[in-house]
């Protein structure tokens, strides 16, 4: 089968600096596109415009540039996700699915002539510098973004690893523009990370969907199970811009025992396909809470939609991005490609989330939590403090308590012997990540209810 027949179904939320963050699925099409009669009059008008630009434009322009711009305009005029990819852009697109690429590690899209941040990728220069979802990039070094195409802006933000770049951002919560200096780097995304939040309760963060995400998720779950009985899991899909469709299916399949995951429907039978879960649930039916927000897009929404429709997990957070269309990546003979919308995807219940997003089962509005000074909290009075109160008949005498106490040195030896990762301070968690704090509380409640 020739490479010219290869196509990829891609669901995209935007463009990443140095790479496109895509949701792709490779399939093969045997038939060639049908040849249709083109309107001669319209073609003559196109050629006339081309010749007028060549002869009358203030500066000479190469034919290749004019034709490429014409193709870009034709595709961009269809919808926000159809576009032309030149050789470098197509190479970046393919690199993104491996989880390793060069750039700043930030997902962007064009909004009202400015570059809007969809989400920074975890542990990248952008995330470390403090770039946040929703930020508007108004200047790149000394160049204003207004008037630039998205690709021009992305090209200016690319560069050799180690070189510096200054971004000027406008953030809704700040009265003045924010100026950040970043250092470009090779971006190697660890798409899956896990840890225990409390004994028995795990946390897995998926930052995007790459070729290895399914396997990496299985490995992280295996590690959590080795630490002890896993009573429940928080799956964090916040600010996840998407990735491989096959990875989204694999992740959903980890938690589903049967039923549909996602279906794709286009104009003809070749653009229609359904994906179903295989037997086996990695959590054996234990409670699952899924964190989502406005930065959860495409592949992340496929997973969230499948788990919600199958009633396998409880979604918590805010409404998702709403990217429910499918793009096909068609390679061309000159090593470039076109990306064109060919279908929509549907959750197991048959709903399309295009331009609507997924509404979580439990909505959480953005909040800022702060700790109270201990001096502000008065000491309460309990039954034990009341004069003449009854003693507890089951309470141990003070002497017995002393017998049970281990010498300090012995206690330290036991600590070293059974050393485990430091538990997360729940008070700090509430301050630093209130959504995760609420997700953990919900997960613990579900676990208690299931145990009863």
Catalytic machinery residues: 298, 309, 323
Nearest to 308 by CA among 239, 343, 364, 260: 260
Q: Where are the alpha helices (DSSP H) in 347-433?
A: 398-404, 408-417, 426-432
Distances (CA, A) of 76 to 72, 79, 341: 6, 6, 11
Torsions phi, psi for 369 (to 5 deg): -105, 140
Q: Is 421 exposed, middle or buried (0-12, 13-18, 19+ CB in 10 A)?
A: exposed
Encoded tokens for 198: 């409390």
Q: Left if phi > 0, otherwise alpha if psi is -120 to 50, otherwise beta: which for 157?
A: alpha
Encoded tokens for 419: 């050393």
Q: At what angle do helices 245-255 and 213-226 cross, to 10 degrees?
A: 30
β-strand 114-120 against 136-140: which pairing, if any? antiparallel
In angstroms, rounded to a whole number, what is the distance separating the alpha carbons of residues 13 and 22?
7
Nearest to 248 by CA among 275, 278, 281: 275
Distances (CA, A) of 348 to 25, 107, 145, 163, 327: 18, 28, 41, 46, 20
Nearest to 19 by CA among 81, 82, 83, 107: 107
Are 23 and 113 spatial neighbours (Cβ–Cβ below 8 Å)?
A: no
Are 124 and 68 spatial neighbours (Cβ–Cβ below 8 Å)?
A: no
Write down how long the chain is.
452
Encoded tokens for 377: 């909290």
In angstroms, rounded to a whole number, what is the distance separating the alpha carbons of residues 193 and 218?
11
Encoded tokens for 48: 């006339």
What's 19's DSSP letter?
Answer: B
In angstroms, rounded to a whole number, what is the distance separating the alpha carbons of residues 160 and 118?
23
Beta strands (DSSP E) in 347-420 are 362-363
Paired residues of 275 in beta bridges: 262
């Amino acid at each position: 089968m020739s490479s010219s027949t290869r196509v990829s179904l891609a669901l995209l939320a935007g463009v990443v600096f140095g790479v496109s963050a895509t949701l792709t699925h490779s399939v093969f099409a045997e038939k060639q596109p049908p040849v249709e009669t083109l309107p001669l009059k319209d073609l003559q008008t196109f050629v006339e415009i081309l010749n007028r630009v060549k002869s009358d434009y203030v500066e000479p322009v190469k034919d290749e540039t004019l034709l490429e711009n014409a193709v870009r305009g034709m595709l961009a005029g269809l919808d926000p996700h159809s576009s032309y990819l030149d050789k470098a852009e197509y190479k970046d697109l393919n690199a993104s699915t491996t989880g390793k690429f060069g750039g700043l590690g930030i997902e962007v899209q064009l909004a009202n002539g400015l570059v809007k941040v969809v989400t920074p990728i975890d542990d990248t220069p952008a995330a470390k510098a403090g770039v946040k979802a929703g930020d508007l990039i108004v200047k790149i070094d000394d160049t204003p973004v207004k008037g630039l195409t998205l690709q021009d802006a992305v090209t200016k933000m690319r560069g050799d690893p180690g070189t510096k770049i200054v971004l000027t951002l406008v953030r809704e919560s700040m009265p003045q523009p924010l100026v950040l200096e970043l250092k470009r780097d090779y971006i190697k995304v660890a798409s899956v990370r896990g840890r225990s939040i409390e004994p028995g309760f795990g946390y897995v963060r998926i930052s995007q969907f790459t070729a290895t995400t399914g396997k990496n998720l299985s490995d992280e779950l295996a590690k959590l199970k080795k630490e002890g009985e896993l009573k429940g899991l928080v799956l964090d899909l916040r600010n996840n811009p998407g990735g491989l469709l096959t990875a989204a299916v694999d992740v959903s399949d980890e938690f589903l025992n049967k039923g549909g995951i996602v279906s794709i429907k286009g104009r003809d039978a070749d653009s229609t396909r359904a994906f179903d879960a295989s037997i086996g649930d990695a959590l054996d039916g234990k409670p699952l809470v899924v964190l989502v927000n406005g930065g959860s897009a495409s592949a992340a929404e496929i997973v969230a939609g499948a788990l919600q429709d199958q009633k396998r997990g409880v979604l918590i957070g805010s409404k998702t991005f709403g990217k429910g269309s499918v793009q096909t990546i068609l390679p061309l003979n000159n090593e470039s490609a076109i990306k064109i919308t060919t279908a929509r995807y549907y959750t197991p219940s048959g709903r399309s989330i295009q331009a609507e997003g997924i509404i979580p089962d439990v909505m959480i509005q953005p909040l800022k939590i702060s700790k109270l000074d201990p001096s502000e909290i008065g000491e309460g009075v309990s039954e034990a403090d009341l004069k003449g109160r009854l003693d507890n008949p089951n309470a141990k005498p003070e002497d017995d308590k002393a017998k049970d106490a281990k010498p300090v040195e012995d206690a330290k030896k036991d600590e070293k012997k059974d050393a485990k990762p430091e538990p997360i301070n729940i008070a700090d968690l509430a301050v630093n990540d209130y959504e995760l704090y609420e997700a953990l509380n919900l997960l613990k409640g579900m676990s208690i209810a299931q145990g009863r």
